[in-house]
C-alpha cells in the first residue's frame, strides 16, 4: 500500500476517479440535447402531439443526468488548482484561458437557457422555447469543443514554446488549431451522439419488448436508427484517422496501444495482436494471439508498413507509459464496441428494408430488440475506454514530451488528498447508483401521453398565475 503515501499517485487517482465518473453524465446529455432539438423541431414543424410527448418524456431523463453532470463536473475544474498547482502555473496562459472560454461561451449558455427549456413550456412562445432548446444543445456541444481543444493541446502542444518551464503563447489560433484538435473534437462529438442514440434506442427497445406504447417508441427507435446509419460509420472513420495521428505524433502511445515492444522497420510486415499479456518486467508479451500481417492492414490497409514503427523498448522506462495492458485492452474494447454498434445498425437497417419494423410487427423482432437493449450501455464503456487510451497513454507526460505528470502535482500532504479522494469515491458511487435507480423509475413509469399540448398562439411574457408553481413538484408545466 505504498501508493497511499504518494501525493502524486493520489492526485492522479483522484483526477482519474472524478473524470471517469463525471464523464458518465454529460456524455449522455450532450448527445441527447441534439436528439431533443430534432424531436422538438419535428413538433414545431408538424404540430403532431406525439413529437411533443417525445420531447417531454426524454427531457425527464435529460434533466436528471444534466443536474448530476453539472455537480460532478465541479471538482474537475478546481482540481487543476488544488492538486496540480505547478501545472496551472506552467500552462495557465493558454490552458486556463480555454477553460474560461468553456465556462463563458458554452457552459453559461447551457445553464442560462436550461430553465426556460425545462419549465418554460407555457411561459414563452413555442419558437422561443425551441430557441432555448437549441441554445442548450449548442452550449453543450460548444463545451465539448473547448474541453477537447484544451485536452488535444495537452496531447500535441502547439502555438508557442516552453520557456523556463512555462508555456508562452506565440499564436493562439495555432494553439487552438493544434494537430489533434479537429479529429479529437469530432471523435468526441460523435461519441456523445452515438452513446445517446443507443441509450434512447435501447430504452425504446425495452418498451417494445414489454409491448408498452409500442407505436410511440417505434417512432423514437426509427429516429435513432436513421441517425445511427450516418453516425456509426463516420465514428469508425474518424477513429481510424485519430489512430493515424497518434502514430505520427505520439509514437509511444501507439506502441502501448498495440503492446509492440520491438521496432518494426519500414517496408516490412507485422502481425496484429488480438489478445496478449504484456509484461513490463520482461518487456515482452507473455502470451499472444496474432493476426498474421495484420498490423499493416489495420494502420494502412495494406500488408507492408510504409513507415517504421517504434517499439516500447526504444524508450527508456521513464519515458514511456507503464500501464501497457490497460491501454492495450481499453483500445480493443473501444474499437470493438465501435464495430459492434455499426453491425447492430446494419442488421437493423436490413430488417427495416424488409419491412419488419412497422409499428404492428416491430415488437416481434425480439432478438433485434434485445440486441439494442444490450447495446444501451456499450457507448459509455467505449467512451471511458477511449479516454483511458487517450490520457493514460499520454503518460508519463501531462503535456506530451514537455511536462512530466510527476512534476506537476501540488506539494500536498498525502493524508489530505487521501481524505478527499475517499470522500469523492463514496459520493460519486452513491450518485452513480442513485442515478441508475431514479432513471429506472422514470423509465418504468413511462411517458405521460395525456399531457396537454401548450397553446400554439401564446403571447410572449404571458401573465403568470401563482398556481403555476406547485409545491412538492416542479411547476405544472414541467411535469410529465
Partner 1 sequence: MDALQHFLPQVWFVILGLFLFLYITLDGFDLGVGILSLTASTEARRSILMTSLGNVWDANETWLVLMGGALFGAFPLAYGTILTALYIPAVVMIVGLILRAVAFEFRENADRKTIWNLAFGIGSFLAALGQGFALGSVFEGIRVDGAGHFVGGIWDWLSWRSILVALTLIQGYVLIGSTYLVMKTTDGLQQTYVKTAKLAALTTLAGAIFITTSTPIFYEQVRLHLFSPPLLYVFGAIPVLGLLLVGLLWRSLTRGEERSPFVWTVLIFLLSFLGLGLIIFPYVIPPSITIYQAAASPSSLVFMIIFMGFLIPIMLFYNIYNYVVFRGKVTEAHD
Q: Minimum Å distance from CB 111 to partner 1?
A: 4
Q: Which residues contact 95 (CB under 8 A, 6 or more apart)?
A: 80, 88, 150, 153, 154, 167
131-170: contacts with partner 1 (CB under 8 A): 135, 168-169
356-415: contacts with partner 1 (CB under 8 A): 410-413
Residue 9 sits in the site that holds partner 1 (CB under 8 A): no
- The number of beta carbons lying within 10 Å of the beta carbon of residue 159 is 18
Q: Minimum Å distance from CB 379 to partner 1?
A: 22
Q: Which residue, 349 or 412, has its beta carbon nearer to partner 1? A: 412
Q: How far apart are CA 224 and CA 236, in angstroms?
A: 18
Q: What's the DSSP call for residue 271?
A: P
172-201: contacts with partner 1 (CB under 8 A): 172
Residue 314 sits in the site that holds partner 1 (CB under 8 A): no
Q: Minimum Å distance from CB 96 to partner 1?
A: 3
- For partner 1, the binding residue among 4, 5, 45, 74 (CB under 8 A) is 74
- For partner 1, the binding residue among 115, 165, 292, 308 (CB under 8 A) is 115
Q: Which residue, 96 or 336, has its beta carbon nearer to partner 1? A: 96
Q: Which residue, 240 or 474, has its beta carbon nearer to partner 1? A: 474
Contact 145, 110 (CB under 8 A): no
Closest to 110 in 3D by CA, of 70, 148, 60: 70
Q: Minimum Å distance from CB 75 to partner 1?
A: 5
- The number of beta carbons lying within 10 Å of the beta carbon of residue 283 is 14
Contact 338, 375 (CB under 8 A): no
Residue 209 sits in the site that holds partner 1 (CB under 8 A): no
Closest to 394 in 3D by CA, of 333, 312, 319, 283: 319
Q: Minimum Å distance from CB 129 to partner 1?
A: 10
Residue 266 sits in the site that holds partner 1 (CB under 8 A): no
Q: What's the DSSP call for residue 318?
A: G
Residues in binding contact with partner 1, number by CB under 8 A: 79
Q: Minimum Å distance from CB 105 to partner 1?
A: 6
Residue 19 sits in the site that holds partner 1 (CB under 8 A): no
- For partner 1, the binding residue among 75, 159, 393, 447 (CB under 8 A) is 75
Q: How far apart are CA 133 and CA 36, in angstroms?
A: 7
Local structure of 233: helix, strand or coil: helix
Contact 174, 146 (CB under 8 A): no
Query: Which residue shows C-alpha cell 498490423?
Result: 295
Query: Which residue shows C-alpha cell 519515458?
Result: 319
Stretch that binds partner 1, among 87-95, 187-195, 226-234, 316-324 (CB under 8 A): 87-95
Residue 92 sits in the site that holds partner 1 (CB under 8 A): yes
Residue 459 sits in the site that holds partner 1 (CB under 8 A): no
The three cell numbers of residue 267 are 517496408
Residue 480 sits in the site that holds partner 1 (CB under 8 A): no
Q: How far apart are CA 136 and CA 36, in angstroms?
A: 10
Residue 118 sits in the site that holds partner 1 (CB under 8 A): yes
Going by their DSSP bridges, the two strands 403-404 and 397-399 should be labelled as: antiparallel
52-71: contacts with partner 1 (CB under 8 A): 63-64, 67-68, 70-71
Query: Which residue shows C-alpha cell 511536462?
Result: 403
Q: Which residue, 167 or 380, has its beta carbon nearer to partner 1? A: 167
Q: How far apart are CA 205 and CA 199, in angstroms?
A: 10
List, in sequence order, every residue forming a beta bridge with 309; answer none if it has no partner.
Answer: 264
- For partner 1, the binding residue among 50, 101, 300, 336 (CB under 8 A) is 101
Going by their DSSP bridges, the two strands 160-163 and 272-279 should be labelled as: unpaired
Residue 261 sits in the site that holds partner 1 (CB under 8 A): no
Residue 93 sits in the site that holds partner 1 (CB under 8 A): yes
Q: Minimum Å distance from CB 305 to partner 1?
A: 42
Closest to 236 in 3D by CA, of 371, 346, 342: 342
Q: Minimum Å distance from CB 179 to partner 1?
A: 20
Stretch that binds partner 1, among 82-90, 194-202, 231-239, 385-393 (CB under 8 A): 82-90
Amino acid at each position: 500500500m505504498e501508493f497511499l503515501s504518494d501525493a502524486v499517485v493520489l492526485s492522479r487517482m483522484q483526477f482519474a476517479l472524478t473524470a471517469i465518473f463525471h464523464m458518465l453524465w454529460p456524455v449522455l446529455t450532450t448527445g441527447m440535447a441534439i436528439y431533443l432539438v430534432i424531436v422538438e423541431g419535428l413538433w414545431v414543424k408538424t404540430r403532431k402531439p406525439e413529437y411533443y410527448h417525445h420531447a417531454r418524456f426524454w427531457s425527464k431523463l435529460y434533466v436528471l443526468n444534466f443536474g448530476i453532470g453539472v455537480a460532478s463536473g465541479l471538482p474537475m475544474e478546481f482540481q487543476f488548482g488544488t492538486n496540480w498547482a505547478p501545472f496551472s502555473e506552467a500552462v495557465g496562459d493558454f490552458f486556463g484561458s480555454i477553460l474560461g472560454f468553456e465556462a463563458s461561451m458554452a457552459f453559461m449558455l447551457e445553464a442560462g437557457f436550461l430553465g426556460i427549456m425545462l419549465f418554460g413550456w407555457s411561459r414563452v412562445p413555442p419558437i422561443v422555447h425551441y430557441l432555448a432548446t437549441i441554445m442548450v444543445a449548442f452550449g453543450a456541444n460548444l463545451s465539448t469543443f473547448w474541453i477537447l481543444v484544451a485536452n488535444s493541446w495537452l496531447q500535441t502542444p502547439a502555438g508557442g514554446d516552453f520557456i523556463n518551464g512555462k508555456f508562452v503563447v506565440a499564436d493562439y489560433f495555432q494553439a487552438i488549431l493544434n494537430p489533434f484538435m479537429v479529429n479529437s473534437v469530432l471523435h468526441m462529438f460523435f461519441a456523445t451522439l452515438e452513446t445517446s442514440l443507443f441509450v434512447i434506442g435501447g430504452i425504446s427497445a425495452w418498451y417494445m419488448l414489454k409491448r408498452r406504447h409500442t407505436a410511440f417508441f417505434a417512432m423514437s427507435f426509427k429516429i435513432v436508427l436513421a441517425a445511427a446509419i450516418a453516425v456509426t460509420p463516420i465514428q469508425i472513420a474518424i477513429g481510424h484517422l485519430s489512430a493515424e495521428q497518434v502514430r505520427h505524433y505520439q509514437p509511444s502511445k501507439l506502441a502501448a496501444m498495440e503492446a509492440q515492444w520491438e521496432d518494426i522497420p519500414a517496408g516490412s510486415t507485422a502481425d496484429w495482436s488480438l489478445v496478449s499479456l504484456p509484461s513490463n518486467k520482461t518487456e515482452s508479451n507473455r502470451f499472444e494471439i496474432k493476426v498474421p500481417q495484420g498490423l499493416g492492414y489495420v494502420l494502412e490497409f495494406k500488408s507492408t508498413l510504409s513507415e517504421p514503427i517504434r517499439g516500447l523498448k526504444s524508450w527508456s522506462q521513464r519515458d514511456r507509459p507503464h500501464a501497457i495492458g490497460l491501454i492495450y485492452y481499453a483500445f480493443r474494447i473501444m474499437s470493438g464496441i465501435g464495430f459492434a454498434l455499426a453491425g447492430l445498425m446494419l442488421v437493423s437497417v436490413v430488417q427495416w428494408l424488409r419491412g419488419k419494423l412497422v409499428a404492428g410487427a416491430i415488437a416481434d423482432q425480439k432478438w433485434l430488440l434485445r440486441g439494442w437493449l444490450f447495446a444501451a450501455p456499450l457507448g459509455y464503456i467505449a467512451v471511458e475506454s477511449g479516454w483511458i487510451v487517450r490520457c493514460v497513454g499520454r503518460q508519463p507526460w501531462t503535456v506530451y514530451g514537455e511536462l512530466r505528470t510527476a512534476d506537476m502535482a501540488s506539494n500536498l500532504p498525502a493524508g489530505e488528498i487521501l481524505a478527499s479522494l475517499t470522500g469523492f469515491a463514496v459520493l460519486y458511487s452513491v450518485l452513480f447508483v442513485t442515478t441508475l435507480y431514479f432513471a429506472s423509475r422514470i423509465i418504468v413509469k413511462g411517458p405521460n401521453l395525456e399531457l396537454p399540448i401548450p397553446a400554439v398562439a401564446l403571447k410572449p411574457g404571458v401573465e403568470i398565475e401563482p398556481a403555476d408553481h406547485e409545491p412538492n413538484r416542479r411547476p405544472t408545466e414541467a411535469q410529465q
